[in-house]
Amino acid sequence: MGTLLPSSTAEHEKSEKQNSSLQIDEHQRDVDAGALFVLKSKGSWVHCGYHLTTSIVAPPLLSLPYAFTLLGWTAGIFFLVIGAMVTFYSYNLLSRVLEHQAQLGNRQLRFRDMARDILGPRWGRYFVGPIQFAVCYGAVVACTLLGGQCMKAVYLLSNPNGSMKLYEFVIIFGCFMLILAQIPSFHSLRHINLVSLVLCLLYSACAAAGSIYIGNSSKGPEKNYSLKGDTEDRLFGIFNALSIIATTYGNGIIPEIQATLAPPVKGKMFKGLSVCYTVVTVTFFSVAISGYWAFGNESEGLILSNFVDNGKPLVPKWFIYMTNVFTIVQLSAVGVVYLQPTNEVLEQTFGDPKSPEFSNRNVIPRLISRSIAITISTLIAAMLPFFGDINSLIGAFGFMPLDFVLPVIFFNLTFKPSKRSLIFWLNVTIAVVFSALGAIAAIAAVRQIILDAKNYQLFANI
């Protein structure tokens, strides 16, 4: 076809391609190092599905049976279904807003970019940016702590009189994270996150199978599904449970994950979310229902803890070892995924987009800054083994607005649906209800911190 075009037309098209290439190169020179090096836009929708699954289907799902102890059967299943529906809906709205902005020539790569462009610069700088950083870095600390706890559980099972302390296992896990943290970009994690997807299916299957095995045997506790505590405890327990469920479904990095997609991005995020929520449905509901059925209101904060009673395993030891190993390895992948917003900020601050990614000018600051970030998170996890209480507060303040409230607000402000339309009022209802739930859940989290304060001790061996 090219030979049939007049020479002037062919030259014009060639000129347009060159100009386009020059504009892209100019954009690459102007863009900050965080976006250029960490948020590379090279992935497919399949890679996006891996990232989404790792960021949502994580070991905190093993706490869902405990959330059921605070809610009971009916409310537990109801809120688990509502959490899945609302987050899937909200994440798709976020994706549609991002696709719309990309079609207008303004591709937003970060949550704070969306807040800046839609709500104003102060919202991105002083509200969304800090909240997202706290949520994601808090997740890194929580993964490090949980990894150490799982390692300690394996150690005590094999050596009941062992003298190693929790903080030592936290440091060991932190050293492993220190290595993984040096993986240069979000896109580079795609193969690790594929392994993570397989691992979350494996340990969820192990948790469900172990619960069913114990529930059908005489080894398990007598099943009791009544709610514990007085009226006040039950009321605050409901909001603690909602915070647990919201945090389990939480993501907080949808824009950053969508940023890893190679353009054009239209429709790719929906496919990735469909992959992710297929895994969510299989894992969340199987673990929550089987765990609560087997142990009732005796379900521990981590259902794997119920597999051991006074140091005596209720399932074969090899089964507990295997389940914990799956969990530990996946925790490292989850921690590295949630480290990406921190990496992006560090790269933006210390990196030089005009120098090659693997030049000494960029590699040395990257190595130092990421190592310091992991060292600090490991130190916090070792010092504060009760960080779960603090993370509940961070989840109430962070995951609720980022994953339930802001997506519907962004959609209404971007697309301006009619005030007579169902979608407008559905979005307004979601924003109002989950803003209120977030505030109440934060109060419940603060109350729990105060109640547990008497047991707090730095570097405690719990």
List the chain residues with pLDDT less than 50.
1-30
Tokens of 90: 């909200």
Between 317-350 and 166-180, two packed helices, what is the crossing angle to 10 degrees? Answer: 50
* Spatial contact of 238 and 75, defined as CB atoms under 8 Å apart: yes
Q: What pLDDT sits at residue 218?
A: 79
* Spatial contact of 207 and 64, defined as CB atoms under 8 Å apart: no
| Helix (H) or strand (E) run with residue 313 in it | strand 312-313
Tokens of 139: 């997740």
Mean pLDDT of the chain: 88
One DSSP character per residue, 236-252 reads HHHHHHHHHHHHHH--S
* Spatial contact of 304 and 153, defined as CB atoms under 8 Å apart: yes
Q: What pLDDT sits at residue 454?
A: 75
Q: What pLDDT sits at residue 453?
A: 72
Q: What pLDDT sits at residue 388?
A: 65
pTM across the whole model:
0.89
Instruction: Report CA dihedral (129, 439, 441, 113) to the nearest 10 degrees.
Output: -20
Q: What pLDDT sits at residue 242?
A: 87
Burial class (CB in 10 A: 0-12, 13-18, 19+), 83: buried
* Strand positions, DSSP E, 308-458: 308-309, 312-313
Q: What pLDDT sits at residue 11?
A: 45
Is it true that the peptide bond before 130 is cis, omega within 30 degrees of 0? no
What does the DSSP 8-state code read for residue 457?
A: -
Other Cβ atoms less than 10 A from the Cβ of 179: the count is: 11
| CATH topology (fold) of 41-455 | Amino acid/polyamine transporter I (1.20.1740)
Q: What pLDDT sits at residue 147?
A: 94
* Spatial contact of 102 and 94, defined as CB atoms under 8 Å apart: no
Number of H helices, E strands in the chain: 18, 2
C-alpha to C-alpha distance for 132 and 140, rounded to whole angstroms = 12
Residue whose entry in the numeric block shows the structure tokens 């609560």: 292
Q: What pLDDT sits at residue 457?
A: 77
